[in-house]
Amino acid sequence: MAGHAGILINSKSILLQKTFRCSTMESHILGQQLVNGLALGSIYGLIAVGYTMVYGIIGMINFAHGDIYMVAAYITAICIAVLSFFGINTVAIVLLITLAVTIFIIALYGWSIERVAYKPLRNSTRLAPLISAIGVSLILQNYVQVSQGARTQAVPTMIQGAFRFGSETDFFQITYIQTLLVVVSFLSMGILTWIIQKTSLGRQCRAVQQDRKMASLLGINTDRIISTVFIMGSSMAAVAGVLVTLNYGSFDFYIGFVTGIKAFTAAVLGGIGSLPGAMLGGIILGMSESLFSGLVNTDYKDVFAFSLLVLVLIFRPSGLLGKPAVEKV
Amino acid sequence: MLGTAHDNPKVAALKEALLSAAITFLVMAPISGIVLKGYAFEADFTVPVYAALIVFVLRLAILLLEQNETGRKILVRLSPSKGGGVTVAKPGGVPWLRFILPLLFIAGLVLPFFLGKYWLTVVILAMIYVLLGLGLNIVVGLAGLLDLGFVAFYAVGAYMFALGSQYWGLGFWTALPLAAATAALFGGMLGFPVLRMHGDYLAIVTLGFGEIIRLVLNNWTSFTGGPNGVSAPNPTLFNLEFSRSAKIEGNIPFHEFFGIPYDSSLKYLFIYMVLFLVVCAMIYFVNRLRLMPMGRAWEALREDEIACRSMGINHVTVKLSAFMMGAMTGGIGGVFFAAYQGFVNPSSFTFFESALILAIVVLGGMGSVVGVIIAALVLTILPEALRDFADYRVLIFGILMVVMMIWKPRGLIRIHRPYFRVKGGKA
Amino acid sequence: MIMKKLWKMAPVATLLVGMMAAPLTQAEDVVKIGVAGPHTGAYAAFGEQLWKGAEAAANDINEAGGIDGKKIELVKADDACEPKQAVSVANRLVDNDKVVAVVGHFCSSSTMPASEIYDEANIIDITPASTNPQVTERGLKTIMRTCGRDDQQGNVAGDYIVNQLKAKKVAVIHDKDTYGQGLADATKARMNELGLEEVLYEGLTRGEKDFNALVTKIKSVDADVVYFGGLHSEAGPLVRQLREQGSKATFISGDGIVSEDFVVAAGGGEFVDGVLSTFGRDPRTIPEGKAVVDKFKAAGYEPEGYTLYSYAAMQAIADAIKGSGSTDGDKLTAWLESNGADTVMGKKEWDEKGDLKVSDYVMYRWDKDGKYTMIEE
């Protein structure tokens, strides 16, 4: 398995050497960069799902989504602190309880935000909920700052260690927590796709997405479906919040903003409204940031990421996996 | 149990209120109640408990009011306005407007003399946002193109003035048209490839463009000074500089020339006056444009692109003209900003700034000039007025933003389509 | 119809007009001093340090009888580290609150435009945290600082890297911000002067947490020293990811990381073990300083980062007002430049630009318990 991956990476590295001005890019370094990109991309993907689902169903860019992820990071730390106060320290149990609690609370956040700030604007202009979302984003950021203080917060390191490939000195590695991150991302993406494609709830979601009025005429409670979508999107942000907090160890009230914009970019890159697209967009964005940073220059990696987005959209105006917009005649 | 709830609406109301309170408590308890201290925490649930109580009382009151006739009437009065659509203005315009407008104009001109320096600077900032709002209004409000990177043009204008004076010795008055032209050029550059995109894809590309401009300004240290920024010169009037001592050779400070004591308000006063005139000119310009074929084409394109194209309107030129016109206004705004602040750096041109300008347009009522002006004044003066709330300032600002949006989902001012009649013929 | 609409707007208008016209009563028996810094936005943690320091100093001075019997009254001003807001609050402090002195701002990019306004109003402004050389290089009379300059700090770091660590391959990383990049550039300049070229010079983005790609790059150039110009919020994850990827390069940074939060951000003491940082002389080694530090700790607050610099700035202002018997900005700065001030961080003396005459930057080493100690030369 590892050998096979090595060959793949080698052939890629030859290609890349020709394209970029980098002279010596050893395969273990490139492998490490690919792992970095994959881990980062999974995070973007998980958060991008929330943007893409909400956009798909009500055509609105939920700018508060990044901040929901930030709140999830805080809930994670609070949960771990409370559990350790009660003397629960077994990693697996702590992880499971934290995940459950965070998902529950963040789902409540998603639900109540939709109920309070977006639902009254359901039948108004397209941009009204967008502005409301910007307001919500400000509220969440400052609410957390006022309540929890502006200082960096952290969780204790719970999972350490890594799988290493290669020789003693020239190796690349993927840490256990990064592995968990990637696996959980793909797993939850799979589950979500399954829900949307195969279950009756998913069918209702898709119906509402295509034509809300028609769906409600056919007896679908559209308000409930929209709420459910917010709950699902927020749950994914909660999963991301837990895993990312465990991965990086620290967070502050401002992390939602940067990550939010990136995740949104990923969602659009993959084709907004498409679930696999969100994941694909996330991975591509993560990879391109990591490779550009490693091979060319870290200063301009975001410029590169956004330029990539612009280029992709010029040639594929609906993103990589998005359905092209139907022009009505 | 369900049965009793159905039988008695008051009990049902009580239940729902309790549920709301419970949710409020659950949402607020972890963040407000359990404050992290390193890996440990301190618990104090006063805030969430009070919040839950308040929500309980309010929700119960609303639900009970809904159950009787007078209560419903009160709620209807308080509820947000629902009416949609666009109305057409009455022919001949509003008769008393011709008296009000000159009065407002004069009031605007004398206003700065009654303000202290602090409020003068706030009003200048508000006017800059009025200008930006007017510019974005052309793009978003009139032409219906969602632009989330408007700040890029604002940055281009500001940097044009600051860098222009540093490298080529441009003055305020030369920079003004140059910045407008450069920003329009950037608008065209961005607009050309992306205008075939639809709605929100356009939005994200403009967002990306705004970020690219900011990142380049931040990273290109040798040219732009990077995060350290560049200082912008003081504005001049016929080579009379508004500063304590002339910083550019050959200029004389304004106060020395007239033999008056130095007062830093003079510079702000001057900026305000020029800015006020530019804004007035811009308002006039936009109002005229709306009556002209170009402006009507914008609005028509916003309503139905396919119909427009089949009527023979070149959608690319029309969109591009809106984009460039908006960008130009943004560029002019940037020059004033740089002159006002005397210093520019990339941290003034973040995505949040774009969002704020967009909020001005949407809150103003998408396409309404008066609405944009009011919204710009509200959204810039509000955070300053809220300074007494110290740390809660931005929190309250966010809450007010959401409340205003819910209260007036279609903006503060309803748009009136201008009325016009083809002269001598049949419409 | 339109009248009705205008009527609806009336309350908003009255509110705004009311707020604009609100007269500010000014009592004669207080000395108003503004404390400006970021209290919202990404840098809010530092605004808190500035405020806590100034507040404690003001309380202590008031308890000791105030300035010639007058109590100090502080005015908190939030600039969110945006130049635009800095200009606004500066004008507000000058014009509405009529302060006689200002402690602040935090970000150099805020201090620069704001200090122009203080200078025009002839109000003394002492910044406890803006280390960018440009702050005092613009010919303004009333700006001073209680912190060092990036070039002073960079010299110490550059010397140490070349002479003590005898580094071969140095990666210089900064956070693309006024402070971080300024510091990194100063260190880089000193290193180059001593004949050592860096092998990598790159900037990361503030607010991000994933620097794995950069870390891999640092590893790929085999750097034995990593110099980081920036704040603890990025330094923490950076050093953690460096260690996680198995790099053993020595990590050096400046005063921006010196905070308990650095250990928190890195995820524990084991990651910061062996990290070096330049910082002012430890106030705990000065008798007055120790008392103040103990008092902070008794109140449950760790006086870290810029807290004591802010405390010192407030002391200097109080001393100058007492000493010169005036609140005139020019006279206060002139007095401080000729007399200096005894502060919690020791005796401070300033040159005519408003910079400290003696830069007391020294190197600290962090241990695995997350504590830092001065390295004896």
Over residues A267-291, the pLDDT tens digits come to: 988 988 888 999 999 999 999 999 9
The DSSP annotation for B15-26 comes to HHHHHHHHHHHH
Q: Is residue C102 within 8 Å of C123, Cβ to Cβ?
A: yes
Q: Which residue in chain C has the smallest CA separation from A158?
A: C267
Prior bond to C105 cis, omega within 30?
A: yes
User: pLDDT, tens digit, for every residue of A34-70?
Assistant: 999 999 999 999 999 989 988 888 888 888 999 999 9
Max Cα distance, chain A (Å): 66
Angle, in degrees to the nearest 10, between helices B199-219 and A255-270? 130
Instruction: Kindly report the average pLDDT of chain A as a whole number.
Output: 85
CA distances from A307 to A37, A276, A319, B145, B205 (A): 18, 22, 14, 20, 9
Burial of B87 (0-12, 13-18, 19+ CB in 10 A): exposed
User: pLDDT, tens digit, for every residue of C232-248?
Assistant: 888 999 999 999 888 88
Q: What pLDDT score was predicted for residue C127?
A: 92
CA distances from C61 to B51, C37, C49, C64, C342 (A): 39, 21, 18, 5, 13
H-only helix segments in B150-246 = 151-168, 172-194, 199-219, 221-224
Find the distance separating the first CA and the last CA of chain A, reported in whole Å: 53
- Report how far residue C136's alpha carbon sits from residue C127's, in angstroms, rounded to the nearest whole number: 10
pLDDT band at B91 (very low <50, low <70, confident <90, very high): low
Angle, in degrees to the nearest 10, between helices A255-270 and A128-148? 150
Considering only residues C210 and B90, tell me which one the structure prediction assigns the higher pLDDT.
C210
Lowest mean pLDDT among C75-79, C178-182, C314-318, C334-338: C178-182
A169 pLDDT exceeds 50? yes
Give the position of tokens 């419409």. Answer: B427
CA B203 to chain centre: 16
- Report how far residue A141's alpha carbon sits from residue A135's, in angstroms, rounded to the nearest whole number: 10
Q: What pLDDT score was predicted for residue B419?
A: 63
- Report how far residue C363's alpha carbon sits from residue C187's, in angstroms, rounded to the nearest whole number: 14
CA distances from A35 to A30, C237, C323 (A): 9, 17, 63
Lowest mean pLDDT among A73-82, B294-303, B347-356, C9-18: C9-18
- What count of other Cβ atoms lies within 10 Å of the Cβ of residue A28? 23
Q: What pLDDT score was predicted for residue C151?
A: 85
User: Per the structure block, which two tokens stand in for C199?
Assistant: 């092998």
Q: What pLDDT score was predicted for residue B2?
A: 46
Instruction: Kindly report the average pLDDT of chain B as a whole number.
Output: 82
Of the candidate CATH numbers 1.20.58, 1.10.287, 1.10.3470, 2.40.30, the domain formed by B94-417 belongs to 1.10.3470
B110 Cβ contact partners less than 8 Å away, ≥ 6 residues apart: none
Q: Please tell me what DSSP assigns to residue B113.
A: G
Give the mean pLDDT of C297-307: 83
Give the mean pLDDT of C146-155: 86
Q: Which of A160, A185, A158 is nearest to A38 (CA)?
A: A185
Q: What pLDDT score was predicted for residue B108?
A: 83
A182 pLDDT exceeds 90? yes
The DSSP annotation for C177-196 comes to SHHHHHHHHHHHHHHHHTT-
H-only helix segments in A60-127 = 65-85, 91-113
Beta C200-203 vs C170-174: how paired, if at all?
parallel
Candidates B24, B34, B401; nearest CB to A134: B401
Q: Is residue B394 within 8 Å of A142, Cβ to Cβ?
A: yes
C207 pLDDT exceeds 90? no
A22 pLDDT exceeds 60? no
pLDDT band at C292 (very low <50, low <70, confident <90, very high): confident
B391 Cβ contact partners less than 8 Å away, ≥ 6 residues apart: A145, A146, C39, C40, C78
Q: What pLDDT score was predicted for residue A30?
A: 87
Q: What pLDDT score was predicted for residue B355?
A: 87
Find the distance separating the first CA and the last CA of chain C, reported in whole Å: 81
Q: How far is C234 from chain B (nearest CA, A)?
A: 17
- What count of other Cβ atoms lies within 10 Å of the Cβ of residue C214? 26
- Report how far residue B2's alpha carbon sits from residue B12's, in angstroms, rounded to the nearest whole number: 9
- Report how far residue A170's alpha carbon sits from residue B9's, in angstroms, rounded to the nearest whole number: 73
Lowest mean pLDDT among A79-88, A134-143, B91-100: B91-100
Residue B405 to residue A132, Cβ atoms within 8 A? yes
Find the distance separating the first CA and the last CA of chain B, reported in whole Å: 66
Q: What pLDDT score was predicted for residue B54?
A: 93
- Report how far residue C313's alpha carbon sits from residue C335's, in angstroms, rounded to the nearest whole number: 14
C19 pLDDT exceeds 80? no
Q: What pLDDT score was predicted for residue B94?
A: 62
User: pLDDT, tens digit, for every residue of A291-311?
Assistant: 998 888 888 888 898 888 888
Enclosing H/E stretch for B42: strand B40-43
Considering only residues B322 and B247, tell me which one the structure prediction assigns the higher pLDDT.
B322
Q: What pLDDT score was predicted for residue B3?
A: 46
C11 pLDDT exceeds 70? no
User: pLDDT, tens digit, for every residue of A144-164?
Assistant: 988 988 888 888 888 888 888
Which value does ipTM take for this structure?
A: 0.84
Q: Which residue in chain B has the smallest CA separation from A262?
A: B208
Q: Which residue in chain B has the smallest CA separation from A118?
A: B406
Lowest mean pLDDT among A45-49, A72-76, C24-28: C24-28
Kindly provide the b/e burial profile for residues B244-279, where b requires at least 16 CB atoms within 10 angstroms of the residue's own CB.
Answer: bebeeeebebbbeeeeeeeebbbbbbbbbebbbebb
Q: How far is B329 from chain A (nearest CA, A)?
A: 22
Beta C225-229 vs C250-253: how paired, if at all?
parallel
Residue A125 to residue B410, Cβ atoms within 8 A? yes
Q: What does the angle CA C110 – CA C113 – CA C115 come to, to the nearest 5 degrees?
A: 95
Q: What does the angle CA C191 – CA C195 – CA C196 come to, to the nearest 5 degrees?
A: 55
Kindly provide the b/e burial profile for residues B219-236, where b requires at least 16 CB atoms within 10 angstroms of the residue's own CB.
Answer: bebeebbbbbbbbbbbbb
Could you write out the three-class secondary structure of C69-80? Answer: CEEEEEEEEECC
Residues of chain B with CATH 1.10.3470: 94-417
B→C interface, C-beta within 8 Å: 38, 94, 115-119, 121-122, 125, 218-219, 221, 226-229, 231, 244, 264, 337, 340-345, 347-348, 374, 377-378, 381, 384-385, 387, 390-391, 393-394, 412-413
- Report how far residue C85's alpha carbon sits from residue C124's, in angstroms, rounded to the nearest whole number: 19
Q: What pLDDT score was predicted for residue B83?
A: 53
Q: What pLDDT score was predicted for residue A13?
A: 40
Q: Is residue B190 within 8 Å of B145, Cβ to Cβ?
A: no
Q: Is residue A301 within 8 Å of A285, Cβ to Cβ?
A: no
Candidates A148, A261, A307; nearest CB to B31: A148
Residue A29 to residue C216, Cβ atoms within 8 A? yes
Q: What pLDDT score was predicted for residue A131?
A: 87
DSSP bridge pairs for B34: B43
A137 pLDDT exceeds 90? yes
Q: How far is B130 from chain C (nearest CA, A)?
A: 16
CA distances from C34 to A50, C31, C74, C78, C165 (A): 44, 10, 6, 10, 43
Mutation choice for A interface testing from B20, B28, B34 by most A CBs within 10 A? B34
Give the mean pLDDT of B18-39: 88
Amino acid in position B65: L
Q: Is residue A69 within 8 Å of A257, Cβ to Cβ?
A: no
Give the mean pLDDT of B83-93: 59
- Report how far residue A144's alpha carbon sits from residue B41's, in angstroms, rounded to the nearest whole number: 15
Q: What pLDDT score was predicted for residue A9?
A: 37
- Report how far residue C371's alpha carbon sits from residue C377's, in angstroms, rounded to the nearest whole number: 19
Residue A264 to residue B216, Cβ atoms within 8 A? no
User: Per the structure block, which two tokens stand in for C137?
Assistant: 């290089």
A329 pLDDT exceeds 60? no
Enclosing H/E stretch for B37: strand B34-37
The domains located in chain C, with CATH, are 30-147+306-344 (3.40.50.2300), 151-280+362-374 (3.40.50.2300)
User: pLDDT, tens digit, for every residue of A232-272?
Assistant: 999 999 999 999 999 888 888 888 888 888 898 899 889 88
pLDDT band at B394 (very low <50, low <70, confident <90, very high): confident
Q: What pLDDT score was predicted for residue B93?
A: 59
B95 pLDDT exceeds 70? no
pLDDT band at B301 (very low <50, low <70, confident <90, very high): confident
Q: Which of B128, B136, B167, B141 is nearest to B152 (CA)?
A: B136
Give the mean pLDDT of B207-211: 88
Q: Is residue A88 within 8 Å of A97, Cβ to Cβ?
A: yes
Q: Which of B342, B333, B353 is nearest to B274 (CA)?
A: B333
pLDDT band at C261 (very low <50, low <70, confident <90, very high): confident
Q: Which phi and psi (to 5°) does residue C70 adopt? A: -90, 140
How many Cα atoms are found within 13 Å in the side-chain-facing hemisphere of C84?
22
Q: What pLDDT score was predicted for residue B369?
A: 84
CA C87 to chain centre: 18
Q: What pLDDT score was predicted for residue B89?
A: 64
Q: What pLDDT score was predicted for residue C158?
A: 92
Lowest mean pLDDT among A195-204, C22-31, C365-374: C22-31
Q: Which of A57, A72, A56 is nearest to A226 (CA)?
A: A57
Q: What pLDDT score was predicted for residue B151?
A: 93
H-only helix segments in B312-419 = 315-341, 351-364, 369-385, 393-407
Residue B401 to residue A135, Cβ atoms within 8 A? yes
User: pLDDT, tens digit, for every residue of B248-273?
Assistant: 666 677 766 776 766 767 788 888 99
CA distances from A86 to A80, A82, C79, C264 (A): 10, 7, 41, 22
- What count of other Cβ atoms lies within 10 Å of the Cβ of residue B127? 24
B85 pLDDT exceeds 60? no
C49 pLDDT exceeds 80? yes
Residue A143 to residue B201, Cβ atoms within 8 A? no
Q: What pLDDT score was predicted for residue B21?
A: 92
Give the mean pLDDT of B176-193: 89
pLDDT above 90 coverage of chain A, percent: 42
Q: What pLDDT score was predicted for residue B427?
A: 43
Candidates C41, C94, C264; nearest CB to B38: C264
Q: Which of C253, C117, C267 is nearest to C186 (CA)?
A: C253
